[in-house]
Structure 1
Amino acid sequence: MKYQLTALEARVIGCLLEKQVTTPEQYPLSVNGVVTACNQKTNREPVMNLSESEVQEQLDNLVKRHYLRTVSGLVIGSPNMSNVFCNSEFGDLKLSAAEVALITTLLLRGAQTPGELRSPRRANV
Protein backbone atom coordinates (compact mmCIF):
# COMPACT_ATOMS: atom_id res chain seq x y z
CA MET A 1 0.00 0.00 0.00
CA LYS A 2 1.34 3.43 -0.95
CA TYR A 3 0.74 6.36 1.38
CA GLN A 4 0.65 9.90 -0.01
CA LEU A 5 1.01 12.60 2.64
CA THR A 6 1.35 16.35 2.42
CA ALA A 7 4.14 17.99 4.42
CA LEU A 8 1.65 19.04 7.09
CA GLU A 9 0.05 15.59 7.28
CA ALA A 10 3.51 14.04 7.61
CA ARG A 11 4.33 16.44 10.46
CA VAL A 12 1.11 15.61 12.32
CA ILE A 13 1.52 11.84 11.98
CA GLY A 14 5.22 12.06 12.85
CA CYS A 15 4.42 14.03 16.00
CA LEU A 16 1.76 11.55 17.09
CA LEU A 17 4.10 8.61 16.51
CA GLU A 18 6.90 10.36 18.42
CA LYS A 19 4.77 11.39 21.39
CA GLN A 20 3.16 7.95 21.62
CA VAL A 21 6.63 6.59 22.45
CA THR A 22 8.30 9.50 24.27
CA THR A 23 5.36 10.71 26.40
CA PRO A 24 2.91 7.80 26.67
CA GLU A 25 1.38 9.31 29.82
CA GLN A 26 0.14 12.26 27.70
CA TYR A 27 -1.05 10.14 24.78
CA PRO A 28 -3.47 10.41 23.01
CA LEU A 29 -2.77 14.09 22.40
CA SER A 30 -5.22 16.95 22.56
CA VAL A 31 -5.38 19.30 19.58
CA ASN A 32 -3.30 21.78 21.58
CA GLY A 33 -0.76 19.03 22.28
CA VAL A 34 -0.52 18.27 18.56
CA VAL A 35 -0.03 21.98 17.78
CA THR A 36 2.76 22.19 20.37
CA ALA A 37 4.42 19.04 19.01
CA CYS A 38 4.18 20.28 15.42
CA ASN A 39 5.75 23.63 16.33
CA GLN A 40 8.52 22.14 18.48
CA LYS A 41 11.84 23.81 17.65
CA THR A 42 14.15 20.83 18.30
CA ASN A 43 14.41 17.72 16.13
CA ARG A 44 12.19 19.19 13.39
CA GLU A 45 13.09 20.10 9.83
CA PRO A 46 11.71 22.45 8.80
CA VAL A 47 10.65 24.24 11.98
CA MET A 48 7.00 25.20 11.55
CA ASN A 49 4.68 27.72 13.16
CA LEU A 50 1.26 26.22 12.58
CA SER A 51 -1.95 27.68 13.96
CA GLU A 52 -4.53 25.60 15.77
CA SER A 53 -6.90 25.90 12.80
CA GLU A 54 -4.21 24.66 10.38
CA VAL A 55 -3.49 21.66 12.59
CA GLN A 56 -7.21 20.99 13.10
CA GLU A 57 -7.71 20.94 9.32
CA GLN A 58 -4.93 18.35 8.96
CA LEU A 59 -6.35 16.27 11.81
CA ASP A 60 -9.80 16.31 10.19
CA ASN A 61 -8.33 15.23 6.84
CA LEU A 62 -6.34 12.41 8.46
CA VAL A 63 -9.40 11.18 10.37
CA LYS A 64 -11.39 11.12 7.12
CA ARG A 65 -8.60 9.08 5.50
CA HIS A 66 -8.58 6.69 8.50
CA TYR A 67 -4.97 7.50 9.50
CA LEU A 68 -6.09 8.92 12.87
CA ARG A 69 -9.04 8.52 15.15
CA THR A 70 -10.54 10.70 17.83
CA VAL A 71 -10.94 9.40 21.34
CA SER A 72 -12.88 10.94 24.20
CA GLY A 73 -10.80 13.50 26.01
CA LEU A 74 -10.53 14.10 29.71
CA VAL A 75 -12.28 17.43 29.20
CA ILE A 76 -15.82 17.24 27.84
CA GLY A 77 -15.90 18.50 24.26
CA SER A 78 -12.14 18.18 23.87
CA PRO A 79 -11.35 15.16 21.70
CA ASN A 80 -7.87 13.70 21.69
CA MET A 81 -6.10 12.29 18.65
CA SER A 82 -4.70 8.78 18.36
CA ASN A 83 -2.61 7.27 15.57
CA VAL A 84 -4.08 4.43 13.52
CA PHE A 85 -1.46 4.88 10.81
CA CYS A 86 0.44 1.84 12.04
CA ASN A 87 0.52 -0.79 14.78
CA SER A 88 -3.11 -0.44 15.76
CA GLU A 89 -6.05 -2.76 15.67
CA PHE A 90 -7.56 -0.44 13.05
CA GLY A 91 -4.76 -0.51 10.48
CA ASP A 92 -2.98 -3.07 8.34
CA LEU A 93 0.49 -1.52 8.56
CA LYS A 94 2.54 -3.34 11.23
CA LEU A 95 6.03 -2.03 11.97
CA SER A 96 8.77 -3.01 14.40
CA ALA A 97 9.97 -0.48 16.97
CA ALA A 98 13.05 0.23 14.82
CA GLU A 99 10.89 0.77 11.73
CA VAL A 100 8.60 3.14 13.64
CA ALA A 101 11.67 5.09 14.81
CA LEU A 102 12.95 5.42 11.23
CA ILE A 103 9.57 6.42 9.81
CA THR A 104 9.07 8.94 12.61
CA THR A 105 12.50 10.47 12.02
CA LEU A 106 11.83 10.81 8.29
CA LEU A 107 8.38 12.32 8.86
CA LEU A 108 9.72 14.89 11.33
CA ARG A 109 13.09 15.74 9.77
CA GLY A 110 12.74 14.98 6.07
CA ALA A 111 15.37 13.24 4.00
CA GLN A 112 18.35 11.92 5.96
CA THR A 113 21.62 10.28 5.01
CA PRO A 114 22.13 6.65 6.06
CA GLY A 115 24.67 7.86 8.64
CA GLU A 116 22.14 10.25 10.18
CA LEU A 117 19.61 7.45 10.43
CA ARG A 118 22.11 5.12 12.12
CA SER A 119 23.34 7.52 14.78
CA PRO A 120 21.23 8.95 17.58
CA ARG A 121 20.76 12.68 17.34
CA ARG A 122 21.26 14.70 20.49
CA ALA A 123 18.55 17.17 21.35
CA ASN A 124 19.54 20.82 21.22
CA VAL A 125 19.37 22.01 24.80
Structure 2
Amino acid sequence: MPLRPLTDIEARVLGTLMEKARTVPDSYPLTLNSLVAGCNQKSSRDPAMNVTDAQAQEALDSLKLLSLVFQSSGSRVARWEHNFQRGVGVPEQSAVLLGLLMLRGPQTAGELRINTERWYKFADISSVEAFLDELQERPEEKGGPLTVKLPRAPGAREQRWAHLLCGPVDMTAAQADSSASPADAGLQSRVAALEEEVATLRSALQNVYDQLGMSQPGQDK
Protein backbone atom coordinates (compact mmCIF):
# COMPACT_ATOMS: atom_id res chain seq x y z
CA MET A 1 0.00 0.00 0.00
CA PRO A 2 1.51 3.37 -1.02
CA LEU A 3 2.47 5.70 1.82
CA ARG A 4 0.59 9.01 1.83
CA PRO A 5 2.80 12.07 1.25
CA LEU A 6 4.34 13.33 4.48
CA THR A 7 4.19 16.95 5.56
CA ASP A 8 7.45 18.88 5.82
CA ILE A 9 7.28 18.74 9.62
CA GLU A 10 6.55 14.99 9.63
CA ALA A 11 9.57 14.44 7.39
CA ARG A 12 11.76 16.57 9.67
CA VAL A 13 10.57 14.72 12.79
CA LEU A 14 11.09 11.33 11.16
CA GLY A 15 14.51 12.24 9.75
CA THR A 16 15.65 13.59 13.11
CA LEU A 17 14.69 10.38 14.89
CA MET A 18 16.56 8.39 12.24
CA GLU A 19 19.64 10.59 12.61
CA LYS A 20 19.81 10.57 16.40
CA ALA A 21 19.33 6.80 16.55
CA ARG A 22 22.70 6.50 14.83
CA THR A 23 24.66 9.58 15.92
CA VAL A 24 23.70 9.78 19.62
CA PRO A 25 22.52 6.26 20.53
CA ASP A 26 23.02 6.90 24.26
CA SER A 27 20.33 9.61 24.10
CA TYR A 28 17.93 7.54 22.01
CA PRO A 29 14.91 7.07 22.02
CA LEU A 30 14.25 10.81 22.15
CA THR A 31 12.08 12.86 24.47
CA LEU A 32 9.90 15.53 22.89
CA ASN A 33 12.35 18.22 24.07
CA SER A 34 15.33 16.50 22.47
CA LEU A 35 13.37 15.84 19.30
CA VAL A 36 12.33 19.47 18.91
CA ALA A 37 15.91 20.61 19.52
CA GLY A 38 17.07 18.22 16.81
CA CYS A 39 14.41 19.36 14.37
CA ASN A 40 15.43 22.99 14.85
CA GLN A 41 19.19 22.53 14.51
CA LYS A 42 20.87 25.16 12.38
CA SER A 43 23.44 22.63 11.17
CA SER A 44 22.84 19.70 8.83
CA ARG A 45 19.33 20.91 8.05
CA ASP A 46 17.92 22.26 4.81
CA PRO A 47 15.74 24.17 5.14
CA ALA A 48 16.13 25.48 8.69
CA MET A 49 12.87 25.15 10.59
CA ASN A 50 11.31 26.37 13.83
CA VAL A 51 9.13 23.45 14.92
CA THR A 52 7.11 23.95 18.10
CA ASP A 53 6.45 21.28 20.72
CA ALA A 54 2.81 21.12 19.62
CA GLN A 55 3.73 20.70 15.96
CA ALA A 56 6.24 17.96 16.76
CA GLN A 57 3.71 16.11 18.92
CA GLU A 58 1.07 16.35 16.20
CA ALA A 59 3.57 14.97 13.68
CA LEU A 60 4.47 12.11 16.03
CA ASP A 61 0.81 11.21 16.47
CA SER A 62 0.29 11.18 12.69
CA LEU A 63 3.46 9.17 12.04
CA LYS A 64 2.39 6.68 14.71
CA LEU A 65 -0.82 6.03 12.77
CA LEU A 66 1.38 5.26 9.73
CA SER A 67 3.47 2.83 11.84
CA LEU A 68 6.57 4.95 11.16
CA VAL A 69 7.22 5.85 14.82
CA PHE A 70 6.24 4.44 18.18
CA GLN A 71 6.48 5.44 21.80
CA SER A 72 8.84 3.50 24.02
CA SER A 73 7.50 1.93 27.18
CA GLY A 74 9.01 1.77 30.63
CA SER A 75 10.31 5.34 30.77
CA ARG A 76 9.24 8.06 33.18
CA VAL A 77 9.35 10.58 30.35
CA ALA A 78 7.70 9.76 27.02
CA ARG A 79 10.34 8.76 24.47
CA TRP A 80 9.99 8.17 20.76
CA GLU A 81 11.77 6.07 18.15
CA HIS A 82 11.33 5.51 14.45
CA ASN A 83 10.20 2.41 12.57
CA PHE A 84 11.13 3.73 9.13
CA GLN A 85 12.94 0.77 7.61
CA ARG A 86 10.20 -1.72 8.46
CA GLY A 87 7.34 0.74 7.96
CA VAL A 88 8.42 1.70 4.44
CA GLY A 89 9.90 -1.66 3.53
CA VAL A 90 13.39 -0.68 2.41
CA PRO A 91 16.88 -2.01 3.26
CA GLU A 92 19.11 -0.23 5.75
CA GLN A 93 21.19 1.52 3.08
CA SER A 94 18.10 2.95 1.39
CA ALA A 95 16.69 4.12 4.72
CA VAL A 96 19.94 5.94 5.48
CA LEU A 97 19.90 7.76 2.12
CA LEU A 98 16.24 8.75 2.49
CA GLY A 99 16.85 10.00 6.02
CA LEU A 100 19.67 12.28 4.85
CA LEU A 101 17.61 13.55 1.94
CA MET A 102 14.75 14.40 4.32
CA LEU A 103 17.06 16.36 6.60
CA ARG A 104 19.40 18.06 4.14
CA GLY A 105 17.44 18.37 0.93
CA PRO A 106 18.65 17.38 -2.57
CA GLN A 107 22.26 16.14 -2.76
CA THR A 108 24.57 14.47 -5.24
CA ALA A 109 25.61 10.86 -4.75
CA GLY A 110 29.06 12.09 -3.71
CA GLU A 111 27.62 14.44 -1.10
CA LEU A 112 25.40 11.67 0.21
CA ARG A 113 28.34 9.32 0.60
CA ILE A 114 30.18 11.93 2.68
CA ASN A 115 27.15 13.00 4.71
CA THR A 116 26.09 9.44 5.57
CA GLU A 117 29.46 8.43 7.05
CA ARG A 118 28.21 8.67 10.63
CA TRP A 119 25.11 6.68 9.69
CA TYR A 120 26.48 4.06 7.33
CA LYS A 121 29.80 3.69 5.46
CA PHE A 122 29.18 3.09 1.77
CA ALA A 123 32.05 1.44 -0.08
CA ASP A 124 32.01 3.97 -2.93
CA ILE A 125 29.83 6.41 -4.84
CA SER A 126 28.65 3.71 -7.24
CA SER A 127 27.10 1.77 -4.35
CA VAL A 128 25.24 4.93 -3.28
CA GLU A 129 24.01 5.40 -6.84
CA ALA A 130 22.88 1.78 -7.02
CA PHE A 131 20.58 2.18 -4.01
CA LEU A 132 19.29 5.54 -5.29
CA ASP A 133 18.52 3.97 -8.66
CA GLU A 134 16.73 1.12 -6.93
CA LEU A 135 14.60 3.59 -4.98
CA GLN A 136 13.82 5.52 -8.16
CA GLU A 137 12.73 2.34 -9.95
CA ARG A 138 10.74 0.96 -7.01
CA PRO A 139 7.66 -0.79 -8.47
CA GLU A 140 4.15 0.43 -7.79
CA GLU A 141 3.21 -2.80 -6.01
CA LYS A 142 5.81 -1.91 -3.37
CA GLY A 143 4.58 1.67 -3.05
CA GLY A 144 6.22 3.35 -6.03
CA PRO A 145 9.41 5.42 -6.44
CA LEU A 146 10.92 7.10 -3.37
CA THR A 147 13.70 9.11 -5.05
CA VAL A 148 14.08 11.15 -8.22
CA LYS A 149 17.19 12.34 -10.08
CA LEU A 150 16.91 16.07 -10.65
CA PRO A 151 17.86 17.82 -13.91
CA ARG A 152 21.47 18.98 -14.00
CA ALA A 153 21.73 22.54 -12.70
CA PRO A 154 23.56 25.15 -14.81
CA GLY A 155 27.31 24.84 -14.24
CA ALA A 156 26.97 21.71 -12.10
CA ARG A 157 29.02 18.61 -12.86
CA GLU A 158 26.74 16.17 -11.10
CA GLN A 159 23.00 15.76 -10.82
CA ARG A 160 21.37 15.84 -7.42
CA TRP A 161 18.85 13.43 -5.95
CA ALA A 162 15.69 14.22 -3.98
CA HIS A 163 13.26 12.09 -1.98
CA LEU A 164 9.58 11.71 -2.85
CA LEU A 165 8.26 11.02 0.65
CA CYS A 166 6.57 14.43 0.68
CA GLY A 167 5.17 14.01 -2.82
CA PRO A 168 6.41 15.14 -6.25
CA VAL A 169 9.35 17.56 -6.40
CA ASP A 170 9.11 21.00 -8.01
CA MET A 171 11.84 20.46 -10.61
CA THR A 172 12.14 24.14 -11.53
CA ALA A 173 12.61 25.27 -7.94
CA ALA A 174 15.01 22.41 -7.18
CA GLN A 175 17.16 23.23 -10.20
CA ALA A 176 17.33 26.94 -9.36
CA ASP A 177 18.25 26.05 -5.77
CA SER A 178 21.60 24.53 -6.79
CA SER A 179 24.12 27.26 -7.53
CA ALA A 180 27.11 26.49 -5.28
CA SER A 181 30.47 25.92 -6.91
CA PRO A 182 32.43 22.69 -6.17
CA ALA A 183 34.75 24.68 -3.88
CA ASP A 184 31.77 26.16 -2.03
CA ALA A 185 30.24 22.70 -1.71
CA GLY A 186 33.45 21.31 -0.21
CA LEU A 187 33.64 24.13 2.32
CA GLN A 188 29.98 23.69 3.18
CA SER A 189 30.54 19.97 3.79
CA ARG A 190 33.41 20.68 6.21
CA VAL A 191 31.47 23.37 8.04
CA ALA A 192 28.43 21.08 8.23
CA ALA A 193 30.58 18.31 9.76
CA LEU A 194 31.81 20.67 12.49
CA GLU A 195 28.31 21.99 13.11
CA GLU A 196 27.01 18.45 13.38
CA GLU A 197 29.57 17.68 16.10
CA VAL A 198 28.34 20.71 18.04
CA ALA A 199 24.73 19.61 17.50
CA THR A 200 25.59 16.13 18.81
CA LEU A 201 27.07 17.62 21.98
CA ARG A 202 23.99 19.80 22.43
CA SER A 203 21.74 16.79 22.01
CA ALA A 204 23.72 14.87 24.63
CA LEU A 205 23.46 17.84 27.00
CA GLN A 206 19.72 18.06 26.35
CA ASN A 207 19.44 14.39 27.28
CA VAL A 208 21.16 15.08 30.62
CA TYR A 209 18.66 17.85 31.36
CA ASP A 210 15.80 15.53 30.33
CA GLN A 211 17.07 12.84 32.71
CA LEU A 212 17.17 15.39 35.53
CA GLY A 213 13.72 16.74 34.63
CA MET A 214 15.16 20.22 34.07
CA SER A 215 15.07 22.76 31.25
CA GLN A 216 18.21 24.19 29.76
CA PRO A 217 18.91 27.80 30.79
CA GLY A 218 17.27 30.22 28.39
CA GLN A 219 14.98 27.58 26.89
CA ASP A 220 11.40 28.81 26.53
CA LYS A 221 8.66 26.48 27.76
TM range (shorter): 0.7 to 0.9
State the AA in 2 paired with 1:95: P
Distance 1:41 1:73, change over 3 A: farther
Cα distance between partner residues in 2 of 1:50 and 1:5 = 15
CA contact (8 A) 2:84 2:95 kept: no
How far residue 70 of structure 1 moved from its aligned partner, in angstroms, is 0.7
Question: Which position in structure 1 is the counterpart of 2:28?
Answer: 27
CA distance in 2: counterparts of 1:12 and 1:42, whole angstroms: 15
Larger radius of gyration: 2
CA distance in 2, matches of 1:14, 1:69: 14
**CA-to-aligned-CA distance 1:99-123 (integer Å, 9 cap, x gap):** 3321111010112123322334432
Which structure shows the bigger proportion of residues in helix conformation? 2
Aligned equivalents of 2:8, 2:74: Cα separation in 1: 27
Distance 1:100 1:65, change over 3 A: closer
RMSD across aligned C-alpha pairs, in angstroms? 1.9
Structure 2 distance, partners of 1:61, 1:101, is: 22
What per-residue deviation string (whole Å, max 9, x for no partner) do you get for residues 80-114 of structure 1? 11111215xxx462422x33321111010112123
TM-score of the superposed pair, with normalisation by structure 2:
0.49
Higher relative contact order (CA 8 A, sep 6+): 1
Structure 1 64/35 Cα, relative in aligned 2: closer, same or farther at 3 Å?
Answer: same
Aligned identity (percent) is 40
Question: TM-score, normalised to structure 1's length?
Answer: 0.83
Whole-angstrom CA distance in 1 between matches of 2:45 and 2:37: 12
* 3-state secondary structure, aligned to 1:34: helix
43 and 92 in structure 1: CA distance in 2 versus 1, 3 angstrom threshold: closer
Inter-partner Cα distance in structure 2 for 1:57 and 1:22: 25
In structure 1, runs of 5+ residues without a counterpart are none
Number of aligned residue pairs: 119
Matched, 1:93 2:94: no
Listed one character per residue, the Cα deviations across residues 27-51 of structure 1 (whole Å, up to 9, x for unaligned) are 1101111101100110000011111
Any residues of structure 2 matched to 1:1-125 within 5 Å, and which?
2-3=2-3, 4-72=5-73, 74-75=75-76, 78-87=77-86, 91=87, 93-96=89-92, 98-120=93-115, 121-122=189-190, 123-125=193-195
